[in-house]
Amino acid sequence: MRLLSVPLFLVALSFGAIAAEENNEPISKELTARLGNRIWSAPERRLVRATIYKMGRAGADSNTKSKKSNEKIRLRYATAKEVGTVAAPYWLPRGSLVRLQTNQGKLLFIAADIGGSVERRSAAKSLGRNRQQKAAPVLDFCAKQQLWPDFVTVDVYYYAGKVPFPELKRSEQGALFVYARKYFKKGT
């Protein structure tokens, strides 16, 4: 089985999509049928201004403080074993994955929040040292502390499921968090 999963992984990448594997994948067949075989796109590398916000009332954004920004998903920090959440601008569909290299290894986040601060991009505009940094989008990662530079290149996997991420049930969104971690642990 394991030997079969490696070629399937390579085929999925060659078609520019991350597909749900039929064998040994943690997503139910019903959810796979609902989302389609293509859950995320192939990665795109982007320079971003990476800010942080904390869970609960310690969050800096008014939406976080009023608990309006996290849709159905509870805010969560990313760890080596857990996928976290990120607030992203409207151009990045909810459910998209962002992989970030930190001082402690790669962390994985799902775009589950939105926020005015990331849309306004004030952090990039005010702190950018060159034209590229000033034009960079802002992503606001749910983290206890910032373990990466202010401007960092990330891998973005755009959500491509047939059903928009916010319309999924909480249990279905949770299943994607689990699937993302297991998939990337196996494939990277």
86 pLDDT tier (thresholds 50, 70, 90):
confident
With tokens 């775009």, the residue in question is 111
Q: What is the pLDDT of residues 67-85, one digit of tens each?
A: 444 445 667 888 888 898 8
Residue 160's Cβ-count burial label (10 Å; 0-12, 13-18, 19+) is buried
114 or 139: which leads in pLDDT: 139
Q: What is the pLDDT of residues 155-166, one digit of tens each?
A: 999 999 999 999
Q: Indicate if the alpha-carbon torsion angle 33, 84, 96, 14 is positive or negative.
A: negative
Contact 110, 180 (CB under 8 A): yes
Spatial CA neighbour of 163 closest among 33, 42, 68: 33
Q: What is the pLDDT of residues 49-68, one digit of tens each?
A: 888 888 764 444 444 444 44
2 pLDDT tier (thresholds 50, 70, 90):
very low
The average pLDDT across 104-110 equals 90
15: CB partners within 8 A, 6+ apart: none
Sketch the domain layout of the chain as residue ranges. Answer: 2-187
- Whole-model pTM? 0.76
Q: What is the pLDDT of residues 120-131, one digit of tens each?
A: 677 777 777 888
The pLDDT mean for the chain works out to 76
The average pLDDT across 28-43 equals 89
